[in-house]
Amino acid sequence: MSGTRPLTVTLLTADPEHPLLAAATGLLRASGHRVEPLHPAAPAPPAARPDVCLLKARTRQALALAGRLAEQGVPVVNSVAATAFCQDRQQMADFALAVGLPFAPTRPADLATLTVTDPVVVKSRHSRRGDLVAAATSTAQIRELAARWPDEPVVVQPLAPNDGWDRKLWVVDGTVFAERRRSELADQDTLPGGAPGTGASARRPLPPADLPADWRELVLATGELFALDVYGVDILEVEGAPLIVDVNAFPGIRGQDGAPRALADLAVSTATGGRLREPARA
């Protein structure tokens, strides 16, 4: 970042103290750049045009604010279109399967009428903080979910047999970070290995160098196809092969050495003319 003119970076987020953002902010400011948080509920973008916007929030209002900045010519990471696309899990799954990614079969459903004979994972169709993600092995469990989540649009995926650990892979501008994390579904008696751990016991290091080469290629290809520069890919290992179950735009990345530096460098390179991804689906 040395030798670059002072830049203004807008962080569109409700939590500028998130460890990733706070650390990246420190690096940017140490290099002489301005970092200005913008809350998703703000009535308007800043009066002074920033050089780049990092779109961490994904609410409708946040997307609208980022869209107004983009109309002013401000580069937005990730783009509003790419961020919004990943909010609809059915749309995301349909696209992933159409382009040949090993994505879990996903279908829309109505909790009020859904019946199941095999274990499934039920998720809110629209990804957001605190959304519904639950395993169910019976129609009775589905009815319980319907009572707690009335009128919630959902999608359903088969519950793939696995070891109870999610592989969380994150990418910031082509740099891959990873860890193994105990599945939030493993305490529902549907996955092997007993109840999940808590705190540190629920997470295991996964050095990117230890990832199979095809996994690394898969996660990087996913970013290209979804036009994302900062993203996460949730993968299960099923019979030795990767199965993608979710893709997240600009996730919270914690405890990954090098991630703040990669994000700070991405902000600078984008502001000074770096390439923004173009979606393959366009």
Q: Identify the band that residue 273 occupies on the pLDDT scale cut at 50, 70 and 90.
A: confident
Q: Are both 234 and 96 inside the same structural domain?
A: yes
Q: Are both 96 and 218 inside the same structural domain?
A: yes
Q: Is position 43 within any domain?
A: yes
- To 10 degrees, what angle do helices 259-271 and 19-30 make? 60
Q: What is the pTM of this model?
A: 0.90
* pLDDT value at 228 more than 50: yes
Q: Of 158, 175, 193, which residue is a domain's last?
A: 158
Joined together, the tokens standing for residue 170 give 């994150």
The answer to whether the beta carbons of residues 266 and 274 sit under 8 Å apart is yes
Q: Is position 84 within any domain?
A: no
Q: Is position 27 within any domain?
A: yes
pLDDT in tens, 27-79: 999 999 999 999 999 999 999 999 999 999 999 999 999 999 999 999 999 99
pLDDT reported for residue 200: 46
Which residue range(s) make up the domain with 124?
Answer: 107-158
Quote the CA–CA distance of 40 and 54 in Å, as a whole number.
Answer: 12
pLDDT reported for residue 205: 86
* pLDDT value at 250 more than 90: yes
Specify burial of residue 253 (Cβ count, 10 A radius: 0-12, 13-18, 19+).
buried
Q: Is position 2 within any domain?
A: no
pLDDT reported for residue 151: 94
**What does each C-alpha distance from 141 to 116, 251, 274 come to in angstroms?**
9, 29, 49
The pLDDT of 218-240, averaged and rounded, is 96
Ramachandran region of residue 123, left (φ > 0), alpha (ψ -120 to 50) or beta?
Answer: beta
Whether residue 162 has a cis bond before it, omega within 30° of 0: no
Q: Are both 137 and 169 inside the same structural domain?
A: no
Q: Are both 19 and 151 inside the same structural domain?
A: no
Q: Are both 183 and 97 inside the same structural domain?
A: yes
Q: Are both 211 and 98 inside the same structural domain?
A: yes
The answer to whether the beta carbons of residues 119 and 135 sit under 8 Å apart is yes
Q: Is position 69 within any domain?
A: yes
Q: Are both 93 and 148 inside the same structural domain?
A: no
Q: Which residue has the higher pLDDT, 200 or 167?
A: 167
Q: Are both 40 and 125 inside the same structural domain?
A: no
The pLDDT of 260-265, averaged and rounded, is 98
**CATH code assigned at 211:** 3.30.470.20
The pLDDT of 4-33, averaged and rounded, is 96
**CATH code assigned at 267:** 3.40.50.20
Domains contained in the chain, number: 3
Q: Are both 97 and 227 inside the same structural domain?
A: yes
pLDDT in tens, 159-196: 998 888 999 999 999 999 999 988 877 554 444 444 44
Q: What angle do CA 213, 215, 217 make, to 5 degrees?
A: 70
Q: Are both 170 and 229 inside the same structural domain?
A: yes
Q: Are both 113 and 99 inside the same structural domain?
A: no
Q: Is position 280 within any domain?
A: no
Q: Is position 263 within any domain?
A: yes
Q: Which stretches does DSSP call E strand in 118-257?
A: 120-124, 133-136, 154-158, 165-172, 175-182, 203-205, 230-238, 241-249
pLDDT reported for residue 129: 87
